[in-house]
Chains A and B, each alone.
Chain A
C-alpha cells in the first residue's frame, strides 16, 4: 500500500498520456449533449433577423487554441450562415487578430459574404479595457479604418453603426476582456451578450450568467462540443470529448485508488499501535 501512496508521478503521467491517446486511436464516439447555457447561445444566433448587427470580439491567446478555436469555428460558421446579418469584428489581444483574420477570410469565402457590405474586420484594437470603452463610445474614433485600411466613414455598412447601442448582439471569445465588455457595452446599452470562455475561467463568470448579464456561454471544449451537436456536426470538439472523458475517468479512478490505499495504510498503522 505504501507503494500506491507514494507512486512515482511519472507512472501517473504515462497513464494520463495513454488515457488521452487510446480514444484518439480508437474513438469511443460518446454521446455529446448541449447544456442550457449552450442552447441559449444557439437560440440567440438562430433568432437573428436580416438587418441585425453583431459585434464579434476575439480575445484569447494561442495556448487556448484547441478549445477556443473549436468554439469559434462552430459559432462563427452558424453566424455566417444567417442571411442579411451585419457583422463588425475586432480582436482585443494581439494573438486574437491572427484567428480573427483566419475566420473572417475563410467564412466570408465559404458563405459568399463581402467585406464592407456584410462584415467589417477592424483587426486588432489596442488598449485592452480602454479599447473596449472606446469601441462602446464611438467605433469610428476607436478604429477609423478596417484591417485593409478602408476608412469606416466610407463603408456603407458602417453609416448606421456608430456605438454600442447600434448592436443587437455581442459575441465574445476569451475571458480576457469579458468584464470590460459587460461594464462598457452590454450593461450600458442593454445589448445581449454571449461568450465562449476558456474552461479554467468559466467559473468566474457564473454570477454574470445567473444574473442575466451574460445570456449564454460555452465552457471550454465541453461547450464547443455541445454547440457542434446543435448545429449537427461532429467536429474537432466532439472528437476531443472522448480523450477528455477518458482522462477525467482516469483521474477519478486514481483518486479512488489513492484513497483506498490511504485508508488501508491508516488502518494498518492504527492496528499496529493497538497491538503494541
Chain B
C-alpha cells in the first residue's frame, strides 16, 4: 500500500465512522466518533502552537535579514510578547489584561470595522445608478430597505417598514434558501468525491 492510499484509507474509515454515528444509535460508533471529534480539538490546539512558532520564526528572519519594512515585524513581536506576558502573568480576567482589551483591542477593532461605513457610502453613491431595469429595481429596493430599517423611515410612513418586512421574509429568504441548499448539496458532493478518492486535495503532495 503506498502512502497516498494509506491517507485515503484513513480518510474513508474516519468519515464512515462519523457518518454511521450520526445516523445510527450504535454505542461503539458513538464512542469512536466522539473520540475522533475530540482529537480535532487537540490537533487544533497543537496547530495553534505550531502557527505561533512559525509566525515568530518568519518575523525573526525578516528582522535578521533587514528585509523591507522589517520594523513592522519587530513591532509585531514586541506587541505579541507584551500582550501574551500580561495575559499569562495577570490572567485574562485581570485588570491589566482588561485594560489592554478595553483601551487598545476594542477601539482599534471597532475603528477598522467602522471604516466600512465610509466605503459603503461612496460605493452606494457611485454604484447605485439607474443604468438598466435590473439596477433600477436594486436601487428602489435598497432605498426602501434603508428607509424601513431606520427611525426616519418609520417617522415618514409605516408603509416602508411593512414593505421592508415583505422584502426580507419573501424574496430575500427565498434567495438565501437557494444559496444554503446549493451549499449543502455542494458539501455532500464534495464528501462523496473525497470518499471515492476523486478529490485528494487533503492528501500531502496531491493538492494540485
Q: Which residues of A contact B (CB under 8 A)?
A: 7, 9, 12-13, 15-17, 30-33, 35-36, 61-66, 95, 97-98, 101, 126-127, 130-131, 133-134, 137, 147, 203-204, 206-207, 210, 222, 241-242, 244-252, 254-255, 257-259, 262-263
Contact = CB atoms under 8 A, between A and B. Distances in A.
B128 A62 contact: no
A248 B129 contact: no
Range class of the B interface residue count = 35 or more
Leading 8 A-B pairs by shortest Cβ distance = A30-B151, A63-B109, A63-B113, A245-B150, A127-B41, A62-B109, A254-B125, A206-B173
B44 to A, nearest CB: 7
Nearest to B149: A222
Interface centre among A15, A203, A206 (most CB of B within 10 A): A206
Contacts of A203: 168, 172, 176
B130 interface: yes
Contact of A64 (B93, B113, B147): B113
Interface in B160-206: 161, 165, 168-169, 172-173, 176-177, 180
A148 B63 CA distance: 41
Contacts of A95: 101, 105
Nearest to B116: A200
Interface in B108-165: 109-110, 112-113, 117-118, 120-122, 124-126, 128-130, 139, 142-143, 146-147, 149-152, 154-155, 161, 165
B92 interface: yes
B128 A255 contact: yes
A12 B126 CA distance: 11
Given A61-B109, A95-B105, A206-B168, 10 more contacts: A12-B118, A12-B125, A98-B92, A98-B101, A204-B176, A222-B149, A244-B150, A251-B124, A255-B139, A259-B128
Nearest to B48: A126
B38 interface: yes
Interface of B: 34, 37-38, 40-41, 44-45, 92-93, 98, 101, 105-106, 109-110, 112-113, 117-118, 120-122, 124-126, 128-130, 139, 142-143, 146-147, 149-152, 154-155, 161, 165, 168-169, 172-173, 176-177, 180
Contact of B154 (A16, A33, A207, A244): A33
A127 B146 contact: no
Contacts of A210: 169, 173
A222 B6 CA distance: 53
Contacts of A263: 130
Given A62-B109, A62-B110, A250 B173 contact: no
Contacts of A247: 117, 121
A107 B165 CA distance: 34
A12 B130 contact: no
A250 B122 CA distance: 11
B35 to A, nearest CB: 11
Contacts of A147: 93
A62 B40 CA distance: 26
A248 B149 contact: yes
Given A206-B168, A245-B151, A245-B152, A16 B117 contact: yes
Given A30-B151, A263-B130, A16 B121 contact: yes
A43 to B, nearest CB: 18
Nearest to A20: B117
Contacts of A255: 124-125, 128, 139, 142-143
A13 B169 CA distance: 33
Given A16-B118, A241-B151, A263-B130, A258 B110 contact: no
Given A13-B118, A206-B173, A254-B125, A62 B37 contact: no
A248 B149 CA distance: 9
Contacts of A66: 110
A203 B141 CA distance: 15
A207 B180 CA distance: 9
